[in-house]
Amino acid sequence: MAQKMPCEPCAKTINFIKKIIFSEDFINKHKRSHSDFTRKRSLPFQTVLIFLLNMLRSALQNELDIFYKTINKEDVLKREVTASAFSQARQKLKHGAFIELNEKTLKHFYDNNDVRKWHGFRLLAVDGSTIKVPKNDDVREYFGELVPRQGESCPLARISQCFDVLNHMSIDAIIEARSVGERDLAVRHFKLISAGDLILLDRGYPAFWLFRLIYEKNADFCARLPLNQWNITNEFLATGLQEQIIYLTMNASSKAKCVELGLSTDPIKLRLIRIDNENNENPTILITSLIDTNLYPVEIFRDLYHQRWPVEESYKIIKSRIEIENFSGKNVEAVKQDFYANIFTCNLTSILAFPIHNKIEQKYKHAKLNYKINWTQTFAKMRNFGILLYFRKNITNLIEKLHILFIDNVSSVRPGRLFPRKNKVQKKRHDFSYKPIS
């Protein structure tokens, strides 16, 4: 390319990660026993961890053969490690290694980059989902299951993310039992929020106690209210106004939760906003802590709420593209390892792609349409290629090649396009005994 790619910040991040992974303190903290990973074997701590970061989805033996072919620069596949040996080695690794690695890497990213913000706020969308987990008795007991009226029961886990929608980072992700509610997981996410964060919430989250928790963290929020469930929503709709300042008071259930969390029960001064939709659809009612009408006029809120869409897209990517439900192991610890390893790799991909956003804008500034990174292609390029970053000494050239691939794989942004939610799509079930070959 004519213009030099911004590889240096990315190279610093990779070297920062490698320093953590090869640290004795990190290894000792995240191995199960003092005697684990002490002998010189073909599967040391770092190799086991890095292998799990490769977005595994095919048969474990096939993945291992490709992994060693890639890092050893072999022309053909050669058996270096058996699947059985790896399965034994991964039992010595705690899934918390991936959580700590993610936390430290994100802190390094935010401390060293001028990240994208909305009116000075870091935009964080909280959203939850469920994923299918292996049909194993221990897994079924730990995560719970969905028992339909007809057909076989299905083990399910609850997952939740607090997602930086402008920088495509999952600042916190959790996998838990299906019985744990999305609001309870949101409370755990909110340990990481502070002043300067603006939380975007969908219709299932609004509650006085949740708003109070965000308020006492000195953060702000914008949430969509469900219609016909809140009295303030019905009263506001009846006025015909486009916006209104209110004082939200608690109900009995919120009082109990406030007491449990040690929150104040004082009313909160908030703002209701009505957004009229096309095609005679019901209006969208938002409730927000951004009460300054001069700084935040009504007109900006239609776009603000839709800014949460990347968190929805992230679930599509991890479920359909990365195939997160296609687990490489069948027990609870393997499920957690795969989940948190994939979350970390998604974040690392976003970090490597971060300098590219401006490059794409410059390249297509005279085009009729706007263009953005094609995340499906970006994650595809990281698989089997990204692991080289951990094993090569000179990684600048590798990062530059990745950046070129990212720029060459973009998608156009077509304003106003709507894709109605498909409620009857039959989801693919990944059978552990019948893995794909790639």
Distance set, CA 192 to CA 186, 196, 201 (Å): 10, 12, 16
pLDDT value for 433: 61
Q: Give pTM, 2 decimals.
A: 0.91
| Cα separation, 268 vs 343, whole angstroms | 35
- 43: tokens are 């599967």
Largest CA distance in the chain: 73
The ranges assigned to domains in the chain are: 8-96+330-413, 118-309
The 10s digit of each residue's pLDDT in 201-218 is 999 999 999 999 999 999
Compute the average pLDDT of residues 224-234: 91
pLDDT value for 2: 43
In the chain, the percentage of residues whose pLDDT exceeds 90 is 72
| Cα separation, 70 vs 77, whole angstroms | 9
The 8 Å CB, 24+ separation contacts for 290-294 are 290/198, 290/220, 290/222, 291/245, 293/243
- DSSP run (H or E) holding 270: strand 268-275
The 10s digit of each residue's pLDDT in 83-128 is 999 999 999 999 999 999 999 999 999 999 999 999 999 999 999 9
Q: Confidence band (pLDDT; 50, 70, 90) for 1?
A: very low
DSSP-assigned beta bridge partners for residue 162: 126, 172
The 10s digit of each residue's pLDDT in 321-358 is 899 999 999 999 999 999 999 999 999 999 999 998 88
The 10s digit of each residue's pLDDT in 68-85 is 999 998 888 888 999 999
pLDDT value for 282: 87
pLDDT value for 437: 58
- DSSP run (H or E) holding 248: strand 243-248
Domain 118-309 coded CATH 3.90.350.10: yes
The 10s digit of each residue's pLDDT in 11-70 is 999 999 999 999 999 999 999 999 999 877 789 999 999 999 999 988 999 999 999 999
In the chain, the percentage of residues whose pLDDT exceeds 70 is 93
Residue 366 has pLDDT above 90, yes or no: no
- Kindly tell me the sign of the dihedral angle through the C-alpha atoms of 322, 324, 326, 332: positive
pLDDT value for 409: 84
| Cα separation, 316 vs 54, whole angstroms | 18
For residues 364 and 36, the answer to whether their CB atoms sit within 8 Å is no
